[in-house]
Amino acid sequence: MKKKNGISHYFFPIMILGSALVVVLLLTFVFSKSNIEFAPGINMSNHTAVSNSNASLSSSPSANYYMKANVTINGFNLVVDVPITSDQFQKGLDVKDHLNENQGMLFIFKEPDKFPFWMHGMKFPIDIIWFDKDKNVVHVEHNLQPCITDLACPSYSPEKDALYVLETASGFYQRHNVKIGTHMDFSLIK
């Protein structure tokens, strides 16, 4: 009778676990060293907030201070937060536990682009509406659910360039008849 070699019996399971560990460590290293900053609501890898070029906006008294804006869409008024620092852009709405119908977050960019957003870190579903430089809707994603894991967290972006992105309570687009071409007006509140 042949004696089983203990090493060969454990070799393949150890190799599989070791390979999986190497892949996880490699992915962690790549994402931590890349210029891609994944954050709730926005992928900051290739764009800059309008406020980064304006020193008076970014010198806020507190990191928790958000500018505010009055937004009007189809006759409905919202008072929204406007992120003014890179940290606020990255956090997006993950700092909130819910949104009322008349609340949201307005992202204002320096240049139009196809800005990708995702639902990482979110606690509730939202609608995301992209607007062009003339403040007309170019794309809507609705009832986006929070990501369950980072590995299954899709990003959403428009097919056309946008300069403004508005995050609202889920279902807002439908309740207020927002569609491609709908116009938005806003004014910053001092």
Residue type, 62: S
Q: Residue holding tokens 């508005």?
A: 166
> Which CATH code is given to the segment(s) 37-189?
2.60.120.1140
Structure tokens belonging to residue 18: 């070791």
143 torsion bin: left (phi>0), alpha (psi -120 to 50), beta (else) = left
d(CA 57, CA 62): 12
d(CA 141, CA 127): 6
d(CA 101, CA 99): 7
Of 93, 124, 128, 96, nearest to 114 by C-alpha is: 128
d(CA 171, CA 127): 7
28-66 per-residue burial string, b: 16 or more CB within 10 A, e: under 16: eeeeeeeeeebbbbbbbeebebbbeeeeebeeeeeeeeb
74-102 per-residue burial string, b: 16 or more CB within 10 A, e: under 16: eeeebebbbbbbbebbbbbbbebeebeee
Q: Are 164 and 135 in contact (CB under 8 A)?
A: yes
Structure tokens belonging to residue 78: 């919202």
The pLDDT tens digits along the chain (190 residues) read 444 555 556 655 555 555 555 444 444 433 333 333 323 344 333 333 443 333 334 334 455 688 999 999 999 999 999 998 988 988 888 888 899 999 999 999 999 999 999 998 899 999 999 999 999 999 999 999 999 887 888 999 999 999 999 999 999 999 999 999 999 999 999 7
| Domain extents in the chain | 1-34, 37-189
Q: How many CB atoms lie within 10 A of CB 10?
A: 10
The predicted structure's pLDDT at residue 37:
32
